Amino acid sequence: MRILQVSNRIPYPLNEGGTIGIYNYVKGFAEHGIDVTFASLNAIKHNINLADAKKELEKYCKLYIVNIDTGIKVHKAFFNLFTNNSYNVERFYNNEFNNLLKELLSKNEFDIIQIEGIYASMYIDAIRKFSKAPVVLRQHNVEFQIWERMAANENNIIKKWYLKLLTQRLKKFEIEQLNKFDAVIPVTNDDAEIFIASGCKKQIFISPAGIEVGNFSISDYENVNPFHIYHLGSLEWLPNREAVIWFIENIWVKISKIDKRFKLFVAGKNTPHFFKKYECENIEICGEIKDPSEFLRDKAITVVPLLSGSGIRLKILEAMAVGKLVISTTIGAQGIKYINKKNILIADDTEGFYRIFNNISQNPNYYNEIIQNAKTLIEQEYSNKTVVGKLLNFYRVTYNIN
């Protein structure tokens, strides 16, 4: 089988859920014997080391990259107000990339063209002109839902108005795009239900994010401090930033009074400078980390206090795989086949978090069974080989591919 993946981001380095999610499919396809071609935009603001990215990705695919400046331009954002277009989306259009796709499709035949996310979906028209292959949209989340939740949580009147405007335009674009594809591949059942309710009439196949289970060993993390808590996730992603601020300002002050031994470590790509104001005796702002394994070594608990967002959180799956206790909001854990108090702990307000941490303070080993159950869940449901294999079988059966 020959697959062309089209993405608005290079899935490397593996320092955030979005890149890991795409990378695991590239690698997974290749390990199943698929001939993979990967065409990607590279937002120059991310400052990716292209030599390292090519060295890693070219193990699994033929790689094509076009640089693009996706930074927010004040004058363009202003003039966009007088159109009906989504500014979120139009920042990702690049004529050079459009021409690259035309060239690839003119010179090569593919069995499947898989578009990675809504921001790359605008290239569907060019793809249709030059290929008769089935084109599927792999939706990592419901993008407009993320913006709806952020708008609802915003208190500043002007920001709230602007977020609502962006949300309305993005929602219109996203819903219109769904029916341009032969199939839509969401990562969660929740997302699939939203797409159907929004008018998606195309075939839907749910394919969750997978992780390389063999990369993780609980034995590497045996000497942990049961009172060390962490949040690890890109802090340029607004839902993560919103979540950490909410957790520190509304919850952590109460948790820290339960037991002086509790300490919170916050790490993530592009941590804003103003986060340093939160540093104190029991909060450490770590910024971007080079070695996640080393960062996790002495920590027992991860918190995922998301108030907005969509899709599935790979950081939760990875934490479960290495034997960390996961404490999350319902939104943070959506899309995962969890059972509260069996393989995860769910809290959606101050009282819920307080009660959990109070119990931990009294008996740090109380949740060992939850940790073991979580690792079993990962092995049974989220092995990357299994997840990718199911998607490939869907392609073979649906489109009669040998």
Q: Which uninterrupted H or E stretch holds 73? A: none
Q: Return the percentage of the chain with pLDDT > 90, whole number.
A: 62
Predicted confidence (pLDDT) per residue in 133-190, tens digit: 999 999 988 888 777 877 888 888 988 888 888 888 888 888 999 999 999 999 888 8
In a domain, 37, yes or no: yes
Q: How many CB atoms lie within 10 A of CB 152?
A: 13
- Residues 245, 372 within the same domain: yes
Mean pLDDT to the nearest integer, 185-212: 91
- What 8-state DSSP symbol labels residue 324? P
pLDDT at 217: 56
- Residues 223, 238 within the same domain: yes
Contact criterion met (CB below 8 Å) for 314 and 20: yes
Contact criterion met (CB below 8 Å) for 333 and 260: no
In a domain, 95, yes or no: yes
- Residue 95 reports pLDDT greater than 70: yes
| 362: alpha, beta or left? (left if phi > 0; alpha if psi -120 to 50) | alpha
Predicted confidence (pLDDT) per residue in 113-131, tens digit: 999 999 999 999 999 999 9
- Residues 6, 111 within the same domain: yes
pLDDT at 26: 97
pLDDT at 205: 97
Say which residue, 71 or 187, is predicted with more confidence. 187
- Residues 329, 269 within the same domain: yes
Kind of pairing between the strands at 135-139 and 112-116 = parallel
pLDDT at 78: 60
In a domain, 158, yes or no: no
- Residues 92, 220 within the same domain: no
- Residues 377, 388 within the same domain: no
pLDDT at 37: 98
Which residues constitute the domain of residue 361? 213-381
With cut-offs at 50, 70 and 90, classify the pLDDT of residue 222. Answer: low
pLDDT at 223: 75
Contact criterion met (CB below 8 Å) for 392 and 29: yes
CATH code, domain with 323: 3.40.50.2000
- Residue 196 reports pLDDT greater than 90: yes
pTM of the predicted model over 0.85? no
Mean pLDDT, rounded, of the chain: 90
In a domain, 260, yes or no: yes
Output phi, psi for 300, to 5 deg. -105, -25
- Residue 216 reports pLDDT greater than 60: no
Mean pLDDT to the nearest integer, 369-380: 91
What is the Cα–Cα distance from 299 to 87, expressed in whole angstroms? 40
Which of 64, 15, 8, 17 is closest to 36 using CA atoms? 64
Q: Is the peptide bond before 186 cis (omega within 30 degrees of 0)?
A: no
Which of 123, 92, 146 is closest to 6 using CA atoms? 123
Instruction: DSSP for 103-129, please give it.
Output: HHHHH---SEEEEESGGGGGGHHHHHH
Q: Which range has the worst mean pLDDT, 220-229, 370-379, 384-393?
A: 220-229
pLDDT at 147: 79
Q: Which uninterrupted H or E stretch holds 372? A: helix 368-381
- Residue 46 reports pLDDT greater than 80: no
pLDDT at 209: 84
pLDDT at 220: 54
Contact criterion met (CB below 8 Å) for 306 and 203: no
- Residues 42, 174 within the same domain: yes
Q: Give how many domains the chain has, as a whole number.
A: 2
In a domain, 164, yes or no: no
Which of 255, 25, 45 is closest to 140 using CA atoms? 25
Dihedral sign from CA coordinates of 147, 149, 150, 155: positive
| 23: alpha, beta or left? (left if phi > 0; alpha if psi -120 to 50) | alpha
The CA-CA-CA angle for residues 237, 74, 19, to 5°, reads 25
| 228: alpha, beta or left? (left if phi > 0; alpha if psi -120 to 50) | beta
- Residue 110 reports pLDDT greater than 80: yes
Q: How many CB atoms lie within 10 A of CB 126?
A: 16
pLDDT at 324: 93
Say which residue, 383 or 180, is predicted with more confidence. 180
- Residue 342 reports pLDDT greater than 80: yes
In a domain, 342, yes or no: yes
- Residues 174, 264 within the same domain: no
- Residues 248, 135 within the same domain: no
Instruction: DSSP for 30-61, please give it.
Output: HHTT-EEEEEEEEEGGG---HHHHHHHHTTTS
In a domain, 159, yes or no: no
- Residues 61, 136 within the same domain: yes
In a domain, 161, yes or no: no
Report CA-CA distances (Å) from 170 to 147, 174, 187, 200.
9, 6, 19, 16
Predicted confidence (pLDDT) per residue in 22-44, tens digit: 999 999 999 999 999 999 999 88
- Residues 179, 305 within the same domain: no
- Residues 245, 367 within the same domain: yes
Torsion of CA 393, 398, 401, 402, to 10 degrees: 50
pLDDT at 279: 94
